[in-house]
């Protein structure tokens, strides 16, 4: 714990923030700066590691340790750091291209290992920094500079991907919803192991309005399916009911409150969270937000370090002289 | 030994012997070779080994492609190489004979498992007639031994299937060779006892086969003499036999202990580097973390992340892996953090020759990245030198905060030799200083002597700062696109690497007036030294020098090159060091190249030098 309570200002670096006016990254940054003091962790024990992309400029603006690394590889560097320094709180900042295209391999492996990392994926469904090519989350048919006739690829659903990769904590929030994002960050920070958070982030320059349906005051009430552990999953107009082994979206008016699925974020069966993740269609008319899955599994760093501790407890700490003279030796007089 | 022996056979003293064990990759030739090596080392002979295996784990049985071999050269004097032409070939089947006969010189001894020379096996490898009978081996001392049936007969009392019994025939062969060369048997018996402690029947089979092989030599008339090779004169001390990869792993552990830093290895399996990962994984009690990553990029990324956190970050790989790691090495150059990259080179390009040796990654190590991206590059000269080179790599990486690439190769990595175990207290003190808590911390303010920036690890109060791959301003480390600053920083990173302190090149020139210099690097050290010895014994004047530091070069290299009118540079590549020497020193060195996946032979190097000496 720090001697004096830190404030948002203490986490704000002296660097001039250089995102485009109106970029969703600003509100995520501001929410993070306001949230960090609440953790009660000294600034020097917090590290932000990012890849490359607009979003990956994030660490420069935080008065903590930070590294702006190379495209897609932040989880690798962060893994080495988190495993060897369990005393640190390590955040990974990444974009949809950074995490899901060039860095897809590292993302899934960090999640399956459950490395003690808080991974924030800023999903603007576009390549921002390279000026507007389609990304692995862009909807099929997307017209961009590199796809003037429309993109052909089927997009990833980042939440489904993370669950498929054995993630123990998976959540989604929206850049402009400070309160919701803060709650998700709080839960992620409390989670042991990897926490994966997809944040819908508007890029007003290359993909403006991509998330309008979940932001406009007229549509968002209906579109946002709020997932709160122990509460029925519903938006203002729709709710979820069980249908066989699957989940089904229905109008609230057609069912009674007691028929609605009560959210269980701790459900050990990943197919439940996976079913939830499939509810968000590409056009985002209905989108679950909140925590899909939050289950306990030992973090990778704790497994690595416990294994070493156990070996030392059993065999004693290594002695270099003994090691060098192990095996068949002989003496020349 | 159990049998009573009545006749004592004559014993002949030899100065040196080269033996090659060859068989199917399932015949256990590497183990046989290893055991013979251990027993030879403990007897006090100097030695050098060369394992040679196919890339396929189990190529079709009995085919030339599937032959695995192990060569061992041992002597009563200092040994430089694993030997050119074997004096003895042990061939476990016709394929092994076929694959190796071309390397044998007239008069050499050939011991074969006669049972394996069936019509079917012969035709499998294209022998139309049986070479044991058709006279083609008349110029050799041929010993057809019914290895398989003798082994099976010896084990008839045990409850084993015939297949299981046959599997011990390599121990029969080992026992026979152990008798022929007067090796002690105790260590191998102890080894077998430990290895098969949980399989008593298999243990009995191996021990019995081993003893039967020994007795066979002692009693049959086929082997009329045995041989003795006196101890080599070696400096006083405690010795063990060690391979390059094991020495590298030990050196890295030693470095982390002397630096008082946690050893973090991020690695992805690849031949011939995997054994370093395997070895380090065994030593967790030293606090060693071994992280088998999802790919080569994650492997080096995790090492760099650990290094950022104050650990000794290491990654081990081979050429294809280095190609994948290039971008992260560049980040290491930019972040100016310690990082050790060990490249155990193999034949390339692409997948190339995974199990064979080559030195063709030198230019990749030096220049295989975008932008001006200088790193330190060093290379061990022989197997046990890997221990020292690992410590050297740690010294350079931590002192100068720079990636260091170590260029080992398949020959050094798998080959082994006796090693005088160093006294731990004599190893260098590698302790480092991290940046301390302070106000107005500047992450790129350099040590004026080394030009290193502070190693500023997370967890240190008051020095929170941001670094990254973007160009940074001198001293403050803030992002900078200023043209003059970029020019300055590029030059500064280069100057830092150029200023790394490395020892001067030592030249051996006994007469002091040689006109020709043999200049090698990496694993050519043994073969070149052996050739130079032969040349000098024949009255030739030749100088020798060996480069361990490839970037930066030793300060006196230019002078040395100037002094000798003719400089021969032998390399297992198409002339990469030669190209550098020509470019940097305008010296037209004589480049001698071979890329056959095998080390140079002494004879080839002698012949090349003779051509230059007398042209
Ligand atoms: C190895 C490499 N390839 C390509 C690039 C170019 N590049 C930089 S950022 C980027 C895509 C970024 O997209 P995203 O991750 O979605 O981040 P955003 O800018 O949208 O936040 C690309 C292709 C690079 N920097 N490095
Ligand atoms: S391009 Fe888009 S994502 Fe990048 S800074 Fe501008 S608005 Fe933000
Ligand atoms: Mg993006």
- Domains of chain A, by residue range, sit at 8-210+298-307
Helix (H), strand (E), coil (C) string for B137-165: CCCCEEEEECHHHHHHHHCCCCCCCHHHH
Predicted local distance difference test score (pLDDT) of residue B26: 85
Average pLDDT over residues A288-300: 98
CATH of domain B240-426: 3.40.50.970
Q: Where in chain B is the domain with CATH 3.40.920.10?
A: 11-229
What is the number of other CB atoms lying within 10 angstroms of the CB of residue A333?
5
Chain A residues 202-241 within an 8 A CB cutoff of chain B: none
Tokens linked to B476? 């403050």
Q: Which residues of B touch A318 (CB under 8 A)?
A: 253, 257, 283, 285-287
Indicate whether B2 pLDDT > 60: no
pLDDT tens string A219-240: 999 999 999 999 999 999 999 9
pLDDT value at residue B500: 98
Q: Do A77 and B305 touch (CB under 8 A)?
A: yes
Choose from B185, B263, B281, B285 for mutation: most chain A CBs within 10 A: B285
Closest ligand, as measured to the CA of A93:
1
CA B44-B46-B52 angle, 5° bins:
125
What is the per-residue DSSP string for A35-71? HHHHHT--GGGEEEEE-SSSGGGGGGGBSSEEEE--T
A211 lines ligand 1 (CB under 6 A): no
Identify whether the C-beta of residue B218 lies closer than 8 Å to the C-beta of residue B9.
yes
Which residue, A12, A107, A13, is CA-closest to A51? A107
CATH number for B11-229 (one of 3.30.70.1230, 2.160.20.10, 3.30.410.40, 3.40.920.10): it is: 3.40.920.10
B401 close to B434: Cβ distance less than 8 angstroms = no
**Domain range B507-613, its CATH number among 3.20.20.140, 3.20.20.150, 3.40.50.920, 3.40.1190.20:** 3.40.50.920
- Contact between residue B458 and residue A77 where contact means Cβ atoms under 8 Å apart: no
Residue A28 in contact with residue A122, Cβ under 8 Å? yes
How far apart CA A194 and CA A171 sit, in angstroms, is: 11
Q: Cα distance from B254 to chain A (closest Cα, Å)?
A: 7
- The nearest CA of chain A is from the CA of B43 a distance in Å of 8
**In the prediction, which pLDDT does B61 show?**
86
- Kindly determine whether residue A80 and residue B469, on different chains, have CB atoms separated by under 8 Å: no
Nearest to B236 among A65, A329, A332 (CB): A332
Burial B572-611 (b: 16+ CB within 10 A, else e): bbebbbbbbbeeebebebbbbebbebbbbbbebbbebbbe
Residue with the nearest Cα to atom 3 of ligand 1? A71
Which helix (H) or strand (E) segment holds residue B331: the answer is helix B319-335
Please give the pLDDT value at position B10: 84
The predicted model scores a pTM of 0.94
Interval B70-128: pLDDT, tens: 999 999 999 999 999 999 999 999 999 999 999 999 999 999 999 999 999 999 999 99
> A312, B422: Cβ pair inside 8 Å?
no
pLDDT of residue B115: 97
Cβ of B464 within 8 Å of Cβ of A317? The answer is: no
Distance CA B458, CA B310 (A): 8
Q: Whose CA is nearest to atom 8 of ligand 2?
A: A23
ipTM of the complex in this document: 0.97
Give yes or no for A313 touching B (CB within 8 A).
no
Q: Under a CB-based contact definition with an 8 Å cutoff, are residues B264 and B291 in contact?
A: yes
Q: Tell me, yes or no, if A112 comes closer than 8 A to chain B by beta carbon.
A: no
Q: What is the pLDDT of residues B42-68, one digit of tens each?
A: 899 999 999 988 877 777 888 998 999
Of A76, A308, A312, the CB nearest to B301: A76
Does the CB atom of residue A223 touch ligand 1 within 6 A? no
User: Which one of 3.40.50.300, 3.40.50.970, 1.10.10.10, 3.90.700.10 gives the CATH number of domain A8-210+298-307?
Assistant: 3.40.50.970
Asked if A36 reaches chain B (Cβ–Cβ under 8 Å), the answer is no
> Is the minimum distance from the CB of A103 to ligand 1 under 6 angstroms?
no
């Amino acid at each position: 714990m720090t001697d004096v309570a830190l404030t948002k200002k203490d986490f704000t670096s002296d660097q001039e923030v250089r995102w485009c006016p109106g970029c969703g990254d600003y509100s995520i940054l501001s929410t993070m700066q306001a949230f960090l003091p609440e953790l009660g962790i000294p600034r020097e024990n917090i590290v932000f590691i990012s890849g490359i992309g607009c979003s990956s400029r994030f660490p420069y603006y935080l008065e903590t340790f930070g590294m702006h690394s190379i495209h897609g590889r932040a989880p690798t560097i962060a893994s080495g750091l988190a495993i060897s320094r369990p005393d640190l709180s390590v955040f990974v900042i990444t974009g949809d291209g950074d995490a899901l295209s060039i860095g897809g391999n590292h993302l899934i492996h960090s999640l399956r290992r459950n490395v003690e990392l808080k991974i924030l994926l800023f999903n603007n469904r576009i390549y921002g920094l390279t000026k507007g090519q389609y990304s692995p989350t862009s909807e099929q048919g997307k017209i961009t500079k590199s796809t003037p006739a429309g993109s052909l690829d089927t997009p990833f659903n980042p939440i489904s991907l993370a669950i498929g990769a054995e993630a123990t904590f998976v959540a989604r929030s929206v850049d402009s919803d400070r309160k919701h994002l803060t709650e998700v960050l709080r839960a992620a920070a409390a989670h042991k192991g990897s926490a994966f958070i997809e944040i819908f982030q508007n890029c007003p320059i290359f993909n403006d309005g991509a998330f309008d349906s979940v932001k406009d005051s007229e549509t968002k009430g209906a579109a946002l399916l709020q997932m709160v552990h122990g509460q029925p999953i519903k938006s203002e107009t729709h709710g979820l009911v069980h249908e066989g082994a699957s989940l089904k979206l229905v109008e609230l008016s057609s069912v009674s409150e007691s028929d609605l699925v009560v959210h269980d974020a701790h459900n050990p069966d990943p197919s439940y969270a996976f079913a939830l993740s499939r509810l968000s269609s590409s056009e985002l008319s209905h989108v679950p937000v909140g925590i899909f899955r939050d289950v306990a599994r030992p973090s990778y760093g704790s497994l690595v370090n416990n294994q070493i501790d156990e070996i030392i407890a059993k065999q004693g700490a290594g002695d270099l002289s003994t090691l060098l003279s192990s095996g068949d030796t002989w003496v020349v007089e | 030994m159990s049998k009573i022996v009545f006749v004592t056979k004559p014993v002949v003293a030899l100065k040196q012997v080269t033996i090659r064990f060859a068989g199917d990759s399932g015949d256990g030739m590497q183990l046989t070779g290893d055991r013979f090596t251990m027993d030879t080392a403990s007897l006090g002979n100097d030695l050098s080994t060369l394992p040679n295996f196919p890339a396929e784990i189990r190529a079709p049985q009995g085919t030339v492609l599937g032959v695995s071999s192990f060569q061992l050269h041992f002597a009563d004097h200092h040994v430089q190489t694993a030997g050119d032409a074997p004096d003895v070939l042990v061939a476990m089947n016709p394929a092994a004979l076929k694959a190796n006969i071309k390397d044998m010189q007239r008069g050499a001894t050939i011991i074969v498992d006669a049972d394996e020379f069936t019509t079917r096996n012969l035709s499998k490898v294209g022998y139309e007639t049986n070479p044991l009978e058709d006279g083609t081996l008349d110029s050799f001392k041929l010993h057809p031994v019914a290895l398989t049936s003798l082994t099976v007969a010896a084990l008839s009392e045990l409850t084993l299937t015939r297949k299981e019994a046959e599997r011990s025939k390599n121990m029969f062969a080992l026992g026979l060779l152990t008798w022929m060369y007067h090796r002690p048997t105790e260590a191998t018996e102890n080894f077998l006892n430990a290895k098969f402690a949980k399989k008593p029947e298999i243990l009995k089979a191996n021990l019995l086969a081993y003893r039967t092989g020994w007795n066979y030599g002692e009693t049959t008339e086929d082997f009329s003499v045995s041989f003795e090779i006196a101890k080599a004169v070696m400096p006083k001390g405690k010795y063990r036999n060690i391979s390059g990869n094991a020495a590298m792993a030990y050196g890295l552990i030693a470095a982390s202990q002397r630096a008082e830093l946690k050893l973090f290895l991020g690695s992805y399996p690849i031949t011939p580097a995997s054994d370093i990962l395997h070895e380090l994984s065994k030593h967790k009690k030293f606090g060693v973390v071994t992280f088998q990553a999802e790919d080569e990029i994650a492997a080096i990324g995790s090492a760099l992340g650990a290094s950022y956190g104050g650990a000794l970050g290491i990654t081990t790989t081979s050429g294809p892996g280095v190609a994948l790691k290039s971008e992260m090495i560049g980040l290491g150059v930019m972040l100016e953090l310690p990082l050790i990259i060990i490249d155990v080179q193999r034949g390339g390009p692409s997948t190339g020759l995974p199990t064979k040796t080559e030195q063709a990654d030198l230019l990749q190590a030096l220049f295989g990245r975008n932008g001006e991206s200088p790193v330190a590059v060093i290379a061990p000269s022989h197997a046990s030198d890997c221990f020292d080179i690992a410590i050297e790599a740690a010294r350079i990486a931590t002192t100068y905060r720079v990636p260091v690439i170590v260029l080992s190769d398949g020959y050094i990595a798998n080959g082994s030799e006796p090693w005088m175990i160093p006294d731990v207290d004599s190893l260098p003190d590698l302790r480092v200083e991290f940046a301390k808590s302070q106000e107005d911390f500047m992450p790129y303010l350099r040590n004026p002597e080394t030009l290193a920036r502070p190693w500023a690890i997370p967890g240190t109060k008051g020095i929170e700062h941001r670094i990254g791959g973007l160009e940074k301003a001198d001293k403050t480390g803030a992002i900078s696109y200023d043209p003059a600053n970029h020019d300055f920083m590029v030059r500064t990173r280069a100057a830092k690497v150029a200023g790394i302190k490395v020892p001067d090149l030592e030249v051996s020139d006994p007469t002091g007036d040689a006109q020709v210099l043999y200049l090698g690097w990496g694993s050519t050290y043994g073969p070149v030294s052996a050739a130079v010895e032969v040349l000098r014994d024949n009255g030739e004047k030749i100088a020798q020098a060996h480069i361990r530091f490839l970037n930066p070069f030793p300060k006196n290299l230019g002078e040395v090159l100037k002094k000798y009118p003719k400089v021969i540079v032998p390399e297992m590549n198409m002339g990469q060091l030669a190209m550098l020497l020509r470019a940097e020193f305008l010296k037209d060195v004589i480049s001698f190249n071979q890329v056959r996946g095998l080390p140079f032979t002494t004879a080839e190097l002698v012949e090349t030098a003779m051509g230059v000496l007398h042209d």
